[in-house]
Chain A
Amino acid sequence: MVVERAIQDWQAQIQGALAEGTRLRIRGAGSKDFLGEVGAFDADINTQSHQGIIEYAPTELVMTVRAGTPLATVKAVLAEQRQYWPCDPPSFGGAGTVGGAIAAGLSGPGRVAHGAVRDLVLGVGIINGAGKALKFGGQVMKNVAGYDVSRLMTGSFGTLGLITDVSFKVLPLPAAEVTVARVETVEQAHERFLQVGRLPLPCSASAWFEGTSYLRFSGSNAGVEDARQTIGGDVIAADIWSRIRDHRLDAFAAAKTVWRISVPPGSQAMLSQSSLLEWSGAQRWLLDPGFDPRSTLSEGHATLFRAPATDQTQRFQPLSAVVGGIHKRLKHQFDPQGIFNPGRLYQEI
């Protein structure tokens, strides 16, 4: 196997950090620098130069790319073949790399139809904390050889290793797509989203903000038309979904503190305080709520998504003692000297 130059360079940098006892911050485009704890680091390990599509055969519905490949490139290359990556990770500020999308594990509005980033990841190449280049998973849909390290890496915020390349599942672009809007309260919208979820309709996104609900249907011409007639509402042409996904709504620009609330879709928790409702109600956003949502949340979890640097609140929901213990032991196995992104996710890892 030919080891790519960039990987050799990173291995050398990691060996240097191990020898010197320094800590590294893994960084792609930096579009999610604001997310998570600041953590402790002495130097950056930058993935942005490690770009390009390694393999893409459209009939396999799989793409393999280097971690630094911009999300925009992936989208454009897939679109040429009338395909897409349905989890649609956010590109905050229009930037973002595939490696960053995997590390953060954030999914866009399309998550409700074809799954989250973690659902579509098939394989990863990583360098672990001992500087070893390793491969897990692969390029096939079904694979149970060994533990699912690829999905473990998804959402681990770089704390377990440096992602060098990723294989993920893609799908044909739907033949038709329509978005319908309706002026209504958040409670009405929530009720409608739950009803739509109960119907066998090709609903691919749902959102409510600023007094209007939006539902997107994607699929065959007939299926989408059928859904539009069944659900009603005003058909809108503008692309609101990337604005929602990337938090380019006016209210977000003005907010100092943004909380992400992840709850069962039917939950009533913080419904009326939500500025943006997504995923049939399973993802809710609170802007400058003026209170700690964790103090009242009895189900799901809350992330302090954006906050002034001076805000000392823990960014991610604290873990139970047993699960926290597993985290610490996993971190120790993957990165025994704690060189990768220490403290970015939780202080102990």
Chain B
Amino acid sequence: MIFSRDQLKVRLQAICEGHSVADQARMKVYESDGLTAKKQLPWLVLLPATIEQVQLIMQLCHAHQVPVVARGAGTGLSGGAMPHHEGVLLSLARFNRILEVDQVNLLARVEPGVTNLAISDHVRPLGLFYAPDPSSQIACTIGGNVAENSGGVHCLKYGLTVHNVRKLVMISPEGERYELGSEAFDSAGYDLLALMHGSEGMLGIVVEVTVKLLPLPVEVAVLLAAFTDVGQAADAVGQIIDHGLIPAGLEMMDKLAVQAAEAFVHADYPLDAAAILICELDGSSVEIEQQQALLTQVLLEAGAVQVRCAKDAEERRKLWLGRKAAFPAVGRLAPDYYCMDGTIPRRELASVLSRITDFSQTHGLAVANVFHAGDGNLHPLILYDANQPGQLERAEAFGADILRLCIERGGTITGEHGVGVEKINEMCVQFSADELSVFHGVKAAFDEQGGLNPGKAIPTLQRCAEFGAMHVHRGQEKFAELERF
């Protein structure tokens, strides 16, 4: 049965038993995700709490061709959860229960609105943890982690979300329930479980997630190494791996980021360092002792002027706190900041950092660098003031320069924050028209009508043509060899 728009609204609200938001003022909360520069009010916000409710919502929206944008905690940094003006914003925040912990198979079955940290907190008394730990873990949800294939500071050793999820319960755009993966290690047919990771809510609605749990390591050591030269710190990363060491985490911060973090949380960072590396080792006591000695030696040989090992749990917590609070800390330095997320081969770290310093001068904006050095995943934070005319545009141009540099050096425009609305133009640089067509084909295989999160993640060929033209107009012919269409 087909309803008028107003009737449909009433129906949809009734499905959620009043858990909905329709007035403009109250919908403001949902107008953006963590990328606050991109805002849009939805037509309607719905907060279902059961799988059946989600199915009914999807069925109705599909029949009426109403777009649906799923949202977890809204901590995403690429506008992936930015609402559609004619669509439903489907908040999964009320799906917040941990349903089951399987201590034999080391699995936790949870609803998608459970926060990342809540899983590890819940299973810690059992001696277990959930490995991926994005810095926003206190707030971000596991459903959002699947949509973005989130990493974190420990993914060098323990992998990304895709490596730590066994099974998903999905709702199709037509409202059908289906399962991907299983409690076993693999499943028959195509690896649709992997395909769903990082798909940014474009292929289906995640309503249940089964994650893999790991035994907590016996011992943990956290080392801090200070360098007087950024290039030396960057090169030390490759040398650590060259010695056969795979730390549980390996992070780098430059001077501005260190100073901001220190002023914000007093992590006891060396303020005179050009860059610091934070390195975590885990394992048995003897193992840690041996690895720590080797790591210290490698760091000193790489030019570290100071290597310090946290003495106790409190000092370890403080060293990590500075890193995990780096974004808000940098946020105190300027009215606005723009966080980038390119990934490059590790060997390019030093030279890419030096190019970013050049860009900073060209665009006249300061930049603080925080990154997952072990994975080559950069998070340059460009500082600007949106109230100063032209600064937002300069910040975006600066960001685009960094992303193109990442592609040029054999990397990618996004390591873990997703494309969303933010990096959609850069997708035209990273992929050819034929490759983008394959992505559109994948989308169509799951969502023929295109109602899920429309306009995100994958640019239309038309959009790329316009973007390409824009660049020729500005005389930026660096990618002139790329296909235009």
Interface residues of A (CB under 8 A from B): 57-62, 82, 105, 111, 115-116, 118-119, 128, 132, 134-136, 138-149, 151-152, 154-156, 160, 171-173, 175, 194, 197-200, 202, 219-223, 225-226, 262-267, 279, 282-283, 299-301, 303, 316-320, 322-324, 326-327, 329-330, 332-334, 345-346
Interface residues of B in 281-305 (CB under 8 A from A): 283-284, 286-287, 289-291
Q: Spot the interface stretch: B27-35, B341-349, B390-398, B471-479.
A: B341-349
> B155: which A residues are within 8 A, CB to CB?
141-142
B99 at the interface (CB under 8 A from A): no
By the criterion CB–CB under 8 Å, are A326 and B192 in contact? Answer: yes
Q: Which of B189, B291, B441 contacts A220 (CB 8 A)?
A: B291
Asked if B106 CB lies within 8 Å of chain A CBs, one says yes
Task: Using known A-B contacts A219-B287, A222-B286, determine if residue A138 contacts B439 with beta carbons closer than 8 Å.
Answer: no
A61 to B156, CA, bound (A): 11
What does the 1/0 interface line of B442-461 toward A look like (CB < 8 Å)? 11111010000000011000
The contact of A333 among B199, B287, B441, by CB within 8 Å, is B441
Interface, chain B (partner A; CB < 8 A): 102-107, 127, 148-149, 151, 155-156, 159-160, 162-163, 172, 176-180, 182-192, 194-195, 197-199, 203, 215-218, 238-239, 241-242, 244-246, 283-284, 286-287, 289-291, 343-347, 372, 375-377, 410-419, 423, 427, 430-432, 434-436, 438-439, 441-446, 448, 457-458
**Chain A positions within 8 Å of B443 at CB level:** 147
Cα–Cα distance between A136 and B436 once the two chains are bound (Å): 10
Contacts of A148 in B (CB 8 A): 149, 162, 194-195, 197-199
| Minimal beta-carbon separation of B86 from chain A (angstroms) | 25
Chain B contacts of A155 at CB under 8 A?
186, 190-191
B370 CB, nearest partner CB in chain A, Å: 15
Q: How far is the CB of A295 from chain B (nearest CB, A)?
A: 16
Q: Which of B159, B189, B436 contacts A316 (CB 8 A)?
A: B189
Residues of chain A lying within 8 A (CB to CB) of residue B183: 263-264, 299-300
Q: Which residue of A lies closest to B289 (CB)?
A: A222
Chain A residue numbers with a CB within 8 Å of B436 are 146
Complex contacts, A160 vs chain B, CB 8 Å: 190
Residue of A nearest to B448 (CB): A329
Minimum distance in angstroms from B133 CB to a CB of chain A: 14
- Which chain A residues lie closer than 8 Å to B413 at the CB level? 145
13 contacts between A and B (CB under 8 A): A59-B238, A119-B159, A140-B345, A142-B375, A144-B148, A148-B198, A152-B195, A155-B186, A172-B245, A200-B216, A222-B286, A226-B284, A333-B444
Partner of B160, one of A136, A142, A283, A301: A142
Name which residue of chain B comes closest to A324, CB basis. B189
User: How far apart are the CA atoms of A220 and B281 in the complex, in Å?
Assistant: 12
- Shortest beta-carbon contacts, A-B, top 8: A333-B441, A266-B104, A151-B194, A142-B415, A300-B184, A222-B286, A329-B445, A172-B244
Q: B411, A138: Cβ atoms under 8 Å?
A: yes
Checking A154, A264, A334 against B438 with a beta-carbon cut-off of 8 angstroms, the contacting residue is: A334
Give the shortest distance, in Å, between B198 (CB) and chain A (any CB): 4
Chain A: which residue is nearest B458 at the CB level? A146
Q: Which residues of B contact A175 (CB under 8 A)?
A: 244
Instruction: Point out the residue from A142, A198, A220 that lies within 8 Å of B151, measured CB to CB.
Output: A142
Checking B190, B194, B241, B284 against A61 with a beta-carbon cut-off of 8 angstroms, the contacting residue is B241
Contacts A140-B376, A222-B284, A319-B188 given; does A266 touch B105 at CB 8 Å: yes
* Complex contact A143–B104 (CB within 8 A): no
| Residues of chain A lying within 8 A (CB to CB) of residue B102 | 264, 266
Residues of A within 8 A of B105 (CB): 264-266
Q: Is there contact, CB below 8 Å, between A145 and B217?
A: no
Assess whether B246 is in contact with A144, with CB atoms less than 8 Å apart: no
User: Contact partner of B445 among A200, A324, A330, CB < 8 A?
Assistant: A330
Q: Are B375 and A140 in contact (CB under 8 A)?
A: yes
Q: Which residues of B contact A171 (CB under 8 A)?
A: 246
A residues in contact with B434, CB < 8 Å: 132, 134
Assuming the contacts A262-B186, A329-B444, asked whether A140 and B198 have C-beta atoms less than 8 A apart, the reply is: no
Residues of A near B344 (CB, < 8 A) are: 140
In the complex, what residues of B have CB within 8 A of residue A115's CB? 159, 163
- What is the CA–CA distance of A320 and B155 in the complex, to the nearest angstrom? 33
